[in-house]
Amino acid sequence: MLSSNTIPRRERLIFALDVPDAGSARQLVTQLGETVNFYKIGLELFMAGGYFELLDWLVAQQKKVFVDLKFFDIPATVQAAVRQLSQRGATFCTVHGNQAIMEAAAQAKGGLKILAVTVLTSLDRGDLDDLGFHCDVEQLVLSRARRALEAGCDGVVSSGMEAARLRAFIDHRLLVVTPGIRPVDNRPDDDQKRTVTVEQAFRNGADYIVVGRPIRSAPDPHAAAEEIQRSIATIFPK
């Protein structure tokens, strides 16, 4: 199930830059140095101010950027937002919506790659019941992936628990980006429910992994990131 997509090995690790403000983000990026080449910036930083200045700064540092704002609105609005973002130098952005929303985003993407959110890794079967979905997690993930492919999206965001079925279902026509990576078992207070290790994610078919707390909360984030890069190097020797 290993990814057959040509991706620079050290770019397969995406660090979730979930910190309170842009200044803290810059400090952490500087601390991590060459251990991380790809960053995800999401809603916390968006609400803190200086989001687009940070995006521009990351691009100027020759880092790749994953804009994780999960665009969800009427198709015309999402299309306009994606068109604006496509001018900023980001590599990925997320869309969370129905077929028309995904199609509108894909039509405006330019060089930006659109990732469709399947099922958030913080959700389990009980949460889907609460939301009114009368199917299991895997069925919903596969359905969303099929629709994303038909809509012209470039990839999906999916737990590593479903990555293997995704590969069997859609082979390598979509990128698979896997969050919820934990080097060890979850702590009781962890809000991520459907988690996998670095090796499990890639063996199941992920192209990229998104890692946040295991690096950010480590005593030495630089060393933690480099350790994950070493693990990736054992899986993808070239």
Percent of the chain with pLDDT over 70: 86
- Inter-residue long-range contacts of 5-8, CB under 8 Å, 24+ positions, other chains counted: 5/172, 5/175, 5/207, 7/207, 7/208, 8/37
Q: What value does the mean pLDDT of the chain take?
A: 87
Number of residues in the chain:
238
Greater confidence (147 vs 107) lies with: 107
Greater confidence (169 vs 214) lies with: 214
pLDDT at 173 (0 to 100): 86
217 three-class SS: coil
Determine the angle formed by the axes of helices 51-60 and 22-32, rounding to 10 degrees. Answer: 20
d(CA 152, CA 141) in angstroms, rounded, equals 17
Q: Which of 70, 109, 113, 193 is an active site residue?
A: 70
Over the stretch 104-129, which tens digit does the pLDDT of each residue have?
999 999 999 999 987 555 545 554 45
Check if the beta carbon of residue 66 is closer than 8 Å to that of residue 91: yes
Q: What is the CATH number of domain 9-235?
A: 3.20.20.70
pLDDT at 108 (0 to 100): 98
pLDDT at 190 (0 to 100): 46
pLDDT at 29 (0 to 100): 98
70 is catalytic: yes
**Does residue 158 have a pLDDT over 60?**
yes
Grade residue 135 by pLDDT with cuts at 50, 70 and 90.
Answer: low
**Does residue 130 have a pLDDT over 60?**
no
Check if the beta carbon of residue 160 is closer than 8 Å to that of residue 178: yes
pLDDT at 119 (0 to 100): 59
**Does residue 131 have a pLDDT over 50?**
no
Q: Which of 230, 206, 195 is nearest to 4 (CA)?
A: 206
**Does residue 136 have a pLDDT over 90?**
no
120-140 average pLDDT score: 56
Over the stretch 194-236, which tens digit does the pLDDT of each residue have?
468 999 999 999 999 999 999 999 999 999 999 999 999 999 9
pLDDT at 91 (0 to 100): 98
Domain ranges of the chain: 9-235
Q: What is the pTM of this model?
A: 0.88
pLDDT at 231 (0 to 100): 94
Grade residue 185 by pLDDT with cuts at 50, 70 and 90.
Answer: very low
152-172 average pLDDT score: 85
